[in-house]
Chain A
Amino acid sequence: MVIAVPPHTTSNAARPKKFEEEELLLTGSEAIAHALRLADVDIVGAYPIRPYDAVMQAVAAMIADGKMDCEYIVAEGEHSQFELVKHASAVGARSFVGSSGVGWFYAFEAIAVTAGLRLPVVANVGNRALDDPGAFGVEHNDALAVRDLGWLMTWVETGQEAFDAAVIAYKVAEDPRVMLPCAVSTDGAFLTHSQHLVKIPPREVVEQFLPKYDLGDRLFHPDNPITIAPQVDQDWLTEIRKQNDAAMRRAPDVIREAYREYYELTGRQREPFVEEYMTDDADYVLVGQGTIAMPGRVIVRRLREQGHKVGFARLKWFRPFPADEIVERLGRFKGVGIIDRDYSFGSPHHGGVLFTEFRAAFYDSPKRPAMINIIGGLGGREFTAADGQEMFNLLQQATAGELKTNVHWIGVRE
């Protein structure tokens, strides 16, 4: 029996009227809270852990001030926190959840299942080093740990992008062609807690962009007799996983569409997957994700002043990994330096996660630039201009075939 569910409204793609945006001085976390407000999220599952908890605090303040109307549930731990939003999503509630570091890990079971059940929960991961030792500084391993499970994953650089990406995340995740959860990662401290000037569009603009969340005949409701996730055996898992695979394969086009529409609406986020800087005539390119892009651009400008032809490329979406884009864009350079703000002990060549994935993307490509790995910035350590110089020197040497190894840790005290 098919129940009457709210009609699936398609977003209006006509060119909009011009609109005024409010400019506020916000942390990356507060920017996400504003996105949740305008996206009219139905439920927020909360549990405090630094540095993501700035989002839950900002949401709580908005609800208390009457600016936002949603269920706000503080669970007794991240495991329950992520379980409850998963279930809320299954009954048709637009859901938000977030965590950092080991908190994210505490929810691992729920995280795996959310993707398995194809539920479009949007999560903020305030990237934080994994305890022990306790450190609030940014490392990407928390979010990256779930990279195989079917979550969409994006890294943002600024408060503005945190707002934009959170809105876009709902659009992409809830698209019937995708229906996968999405993790929006914000670098701990550097983005979660630094205050930037952010433009907030009017509510109507976001409402125009985001259709209502519609599970169709998957809506978990007494009038819709379905069972979700019964026990299965070897006869079923392969096909279930194959469906996830197909959804993830459809995601890149959905992401491109969403960014195109958002760009037409706001003039922001023209590039969905890779943002390039000073790469037009570059021989060498440094690559990273998250807030590394800012010192990255400064490093590039300084190297350019010295006469080197170097650029920076920022990866925006890690899942789905935009392999075609990467190969096409980066294949034209002589040397590429992949910066990993993460580690992957024991991986091939002991390289970081991004490095390993980039190399895999290039394996079949006839145009393979020299590629080195820079591992650094761990635990919130900053990348300096001196580091930039060292990175570039290594990249040059590697490209000239002068280095025995291509994985380098920088800024390490010996």
Chain B
Amino acid sequence: MGAPTASGTASPHQNGTATTSASWSVEVVYRGIFQKRLANRISRGVVLGARKEGKVGTAFARYGDSPERNGIPAKNFAVVATDEVQLESSLARYEPESVDVSIVVDDTMCKGVESWAWYGVQPINKLVVPGGSLVVTSDKQPDELLRAVKVKPYAYNLVVVPSPVHAGVFAPEGSASFAGLWVDNDDNTDFKCLVAVARVAPQILTLDSVLDIVRERTNDEARVKAVRAIYDQIKIRHVEPGEGSTVDHEEYQKPGWTQMREGIVVEAMQVGTRNPLYKKWSTRTRRPLVNFDTCIKCTQCWLQCPDECFEVTPEGTYEVVYEACIGCSICEEVCPVPDCITMVNELAFDNNDNLYPMYASDPEGYRRFLQQHGIALHPELIDKAKKTPAVHQQPDYPSKKQKQPVVTGGEE
């Protein structure tokens, strides 16, 4: 059974066959609410597929993620074992400390995830064991995803589950997010993820078991065939130790009972400051880009943003504090100027820096940057826009509390 470890789980990544005793864990990382059913179907599929091979298993959502919020990363798990004793040993820690396969159903989460359920941003591949697999639904190539995925000190596999890109259907062309989030629910994403598991970890469940599940759920041989075809299309990218993003995220230390305030009292934010601990940016799949040339300083974005993410530039225009932005796109909706605010895919960015400094130091470069994201510049609107009066002032830009303050002063 393996030597007792300091952690609660049995030794991970056991390549047992049906005759030896072993257990395996699979997690599904998904965007809350939108992809809740998808994640549940995948984790149930793992257990029910493995069951066809005589294994036992349990599926469950992460307790701490409840209640889910739109888009905030959440997790589902499936733990499978050859026998009840092994299953118990794996479940002794209700939430797995490590997984053989991590399935990510929205690729913008590759940048890291901050959930209700823990503090601070965690790498998307945090739980993946040595030699395990990170399976990502995406239309991007593995190398592009690896620019965002945190490095690990050991090798593992990256698998991209191919997706159709539905240009013009709700999401702009090139958007990687799909299945439950952007396109029709019924596009086989759940089955494709199960096929990916069968591809990288057939000891958990085989392709035949997956196809049986497809057959049972859909009663449609054409679908079975389509899903079967995915199996051969899946490419496994071996990831070396040290390959990936080296961006570090702050870790949060939980206080002890002697340090906490009595009476369940928590510090609140002072007016005009931002929460230093909880940033929420990992909720977003797209971020707004501002065309500072054509902004007419109408203040609508600043006013309507539910998280007060806009700050005033020295020109009286508005820029986004990306640490706080959750990508709700209300700003894009309310901006009256064509293409002045445009939502673009988040995966293209590897930091949360404000962008006005780039515009101020190199306006031409910034315009090219917007164009690279497919944004029309509308040069005919610039003159009029520059003549509009500023409503707000930010006296000390960049403000000393750049990450914190909402603009005060000026008329509203």
Contact = CB atoms under 8 A, between A and B. Distances in A.
B313 to A, nearest CB: 40
Contacts of A306: 4
B256 interface: yes
Interface stretch (B92-100, B146-154, B227-235, B244-252): B92-100
B88 A385 contact: no
Contacts of A352: none
User: B-side binding surface: helix, strand, loop or mixed?
Assistant: loop
A192 to B, nearest CB: 10
B110 interface: no
A414 B257 contact: yes
Interface string B298-331: 0000000000000000000000000000000000
Contact of A133 (B6, B60, B257, B264): B264
A50 B67 CA distance: 9
A386 B6 CA distance: 6
A25 interface: yes
A385 B58 contact: no
Given A382-B94, A385-B4, A385-B6, A136 B63 contact: yes
Interface in B69-100: 88-89, 91-95
Q: Which of B8, B47, B48, B95 has the most CB of A within 10 A?
A: B8
Task: Say which size band chain B's interface belongs to.
Answer: 20 to 34
Given A137-B63, A196-B58, A412-B257, A384 B8 contact: yes
A133 B5 CA distance: 34
Given A132-B264, A301-B89, A385-B92, A295 B256 contact: no
A43 to B, nearest CB: 29
Contacts of B33: none
A177 interface: no
A193 B95 CA distance: 13
B256 to A, nearest CB: 4
A294 B84 CA distance: 11
A25 B63 contact: no
A9 interface: no
Contacts of B284: none
Given A195-B58, A298-B89, A414-B257, A189 B44 contact: no
Interface of A: 23, 25, 50, 132-133, 136-137, 189-190, 193-197, 294-295, 297-299, 301-302, 305-306, 380, 382, 384-386, 412-414
Given A195-B44, A301-B1, 15 more contacts: A25-B51, A189-B94, A190-B94, A194-B59, A195-B59, A294-B91, A298-B88, A298-B92, A305-B3, A384-B8, A385-B6, A386-B7, A413-B255, A413-B257, A414-B257
22 contacts: A25-B44, A25-B59, A50-B67, A132-B264, A133-B264, A193-B60, A194-B58, A194-B59, A194-B60, A197-B47, A295-B93, A301-B1, A302-B4, A382-B8, A382-B95, A384-B8, A385-B92, A385-B93, A386-B8, A412-B256, A413-B254, A414-B256
